[in-house]
Amino acid sequence: MSFGWEAAATDGAARAGLLQTAHGAVSTPVFMPVGTAGTVKAMTADQVRATGASVVLGNTYHLMLRPGADRIERFGGLHRFMDWPGPILTDSGGFQVMSLSALRTLDEDGVTFRSHLDGSAHRLTPEIATGIQHKLDATITMAFDECTKFPATAEEVESSMERSMRWARRSRDAFVARPGYGQFGIVQGGVDPALRARSVAALLDIGFEGYAVGGLAVGEGQAAMFATLEVTVPLLPAERPRYLMGVGTPDDIVGGVQRGIDMFDCVMPTRAGRTARAYTRHGTLNLRNARHQEDERPLDPACGCTACVRHSRAYLHHLFRADEILGPMLLTQHNITYYQDLMHGLRDAICRGELNAHAAATRAAWAAGESR
């Protein structure tokens, strides 16, 4: 089985397609639930599958700290270890280069981290990060990069981007090619169109099975993110999958699809599920709000998840007010189901040639239902 993406339909810049991998096919555009430490938090693998999810994420930095890549390899790889036979994409640890800046030392060769768990020192270079992902048996390996902080000076953004491109070539050299597996390069450059173009050119010169847009959703705001996508995505090869890293809200995803993005991930739906925040077709709800304590309605009558089919808003409100673990479990399952339903609707709308109308109706329903 070769690794590759093929378009089934287009609508403006948006694409619906099929990504073929060694671990199964993925319909795009797709949202990938985040399983940072080998689990989508508060959900079993069977529950994740039941939402319609076809691909999940793991994280190199967190998994190398515990339980360790060597141990996972001895157990047959991450697919077997976490009971997920489908595709797995692994973040290389580049985001931690930015987010754990107080715990790391950066140099041209790579990064030395102090573990957030026990303070022990750990080294990541393009070669080490790629090797760890190989031990994890990641279906999609990400090149090791520096996720550029925001805000940053023009000089800092350019220096960071150039370093990431040097690391991309080293990541590619370290990648072990095999049928059905792929490696994605990551476009950096902040919100500067010229730097983004230079980054794309460098990655195309190296050559990858797919391309990610990184360094966004880090504080620049939605308008700047969308503007950056509009100048970056058209430069990427039409025959390769495009991945917007770490995004985001349902509205971010709709806008990303309209601008030609195929793949998304974010911790938002699982994190929101643990903090009583529900995403629905009629906007967001805070289940801790007292107005739900007598509400017999489901979260979303069109949703088929257990929280919506079997329980009332009043019951979910009770679970969170009582600090019962079932509340986060049910709401996380609901949010992931909603995100998968959102993607299904977007794919269907692209195939019908009605994406913009579908997006407008979706946004109108969110706005109309915010006070429900």
- The catalytic residues are 91, 265
For residue 80 the two structure tokens come to: 């077997």
Query: Environment class of residue 53 by beta-carbon count within 10 Å: exposed (0-12), middle (13-18) or buried (19+)?
Result: buried
Give the C-alpha separation, 55 to 19, whole Å. Answer: 11
Task: Please give the single-letter amino acid code of residue 233.
Answer: V
User: Of 190, 189, 214, 215, which Cα lies nearest the Cα of 201?
Assistant: 189
Residues linked to residue 30 through DSSP beta bridges, in sequence order: 263
What's the residue count for the chain?
372
Q: Is 90 helix (H, G, I), strand (E, B) or coil?
A: strand
Half-sphere exposure of 53 (CA within 13 A, CB side): 32
- Residue 369 CA, chain-centre distance (Å), reads 26
Query: Omega before 298 cis (within 30°)?
Result: no
DSSP conformational letter for 235? G
| Angstrom distance (rounded) from CA 346 to CA 98 | 32
Cα gap 140→186, rounded to integer Å:
13
